[in-house]
Amino acid sequence: MTSGAVTERDDETVSRSMYLIGGRRVTVSDLLDADLIQVGETLRFRRSRIGVAYDATVTETGRIRLEPDGEEFRSPSRAAMVAAGMRAVDGWRVWLVVDQNRMLDAVRQELLDQVISRVAAVAHQHNEDTERQRIHERLRQARRLADEHSPERISVRDLLSLWGASDRGDQVSRIEADLANHGLVTSPSFRAVTLDTTVSLTTPPSEAEETTAADLPGTEDVPVGTDDEGGSDLDVRLTVGNLFRFHLSAGRDPDHP
């Protein structure tokens, strides 16, 4: 086989890789599947301002187990909220992967970069794949500006057009997932303003208003199978490696869940 030949396995890899960055949020399970973190890895949420740190470990199912009480959460944000008794916090940007000495968010960005590189290495690419690469590069640039405290300002109409959308319809969930995967939010929310309003592409605050655990809405009743990102156990079980097979068995196109 020549070096430029494309195998069926290459095609399948592209399909499931593009599904990962084209419509759903990256999960800790995805990082495990990509060998970017390991089972048993220690995570630490350090709040230097008040001199407190919270530890957690990564389970084999991709959940975050708080120490020492053993509560497990699929969502890094929910885990951080419960650990610190906070109303809202971006868990991807506060959990440090101790052995790697970098934030969970940085590991997520490495995964996205790997996915794009893998797709670009395949000789033939579908138009939709190319569009998703463009969106990834565009959002990566926006994240860089946000980290430099010079967030990009863009109208809601122009923001939607990046995904080929003219209004806030069926694409909203995908747009929010793509933004979240790059650690971005719009300020104000692009859902709450007119199409001609200018919003900033920025990162959410690492910490928010502190509350007691009792003040967290629904915290005590949150079962292991749900989280603050609206996910379920089904999302946890669907890893990068079996997403494609799941959609085929369900008679679905992996690029259009």
How confident is the model at residue 22, as a pLDDT?
57
Q: What Rg value do the Cα atoms of the chain yield, rounded?
A: 19
Whether the model clears a pTM of 0.85, i.e. scores above it, the answer is no
DSSP string, 22-74: SSS---HHHHHHTTSS-TT-EEEEEETTTTEEEEEEE-TTS-EEETTT--EES
Bond into 254 cis (ω within 30) = no
How confident is the model at residue 233, as a pLDDT?
32
How confident is the model at residue 46, as a pLDDT?
95
64-66: strand order across its sheet = 72-73, 64-66, 52-58, 42-47, 95-97, 102-103
Give phi and psi for 71, each to the nearest 5.
-65, 140
How confident is the model at residue 214, as a pLDDT?
36
How confident is the model at residue 171, as a pLDDT?
85
The residue ranges of the chain whose pLDDT is under 70 are 1-23, 119-129, 206-257
pLDDT digits (tens, 9 = 90+) for 90-141: 999 999 999 999 999 999 999 988 887 776 665 445 555 677 778 888 999 9
How confident is the model at residue 217, as a pLDDT?
35
How confident is the model at residue 43, as a pLDDT?
98
Which pair of structure tokens corresponds to residue 107? 């590991």
Torsion angle of the four alpha carbons 79, 83, 86, 89, in this order, in degrees rounded to the nearest 10:
-40
**In Å, how far from its chain's centre is CA 127?**
24
The whole-angstrom separation of Cα 82 and Cα 73 is 9
How confident is the model at residue 6, as a pLDDT?
38
The whole-angstrom separation of Cα 110 and Cα 106 is 6
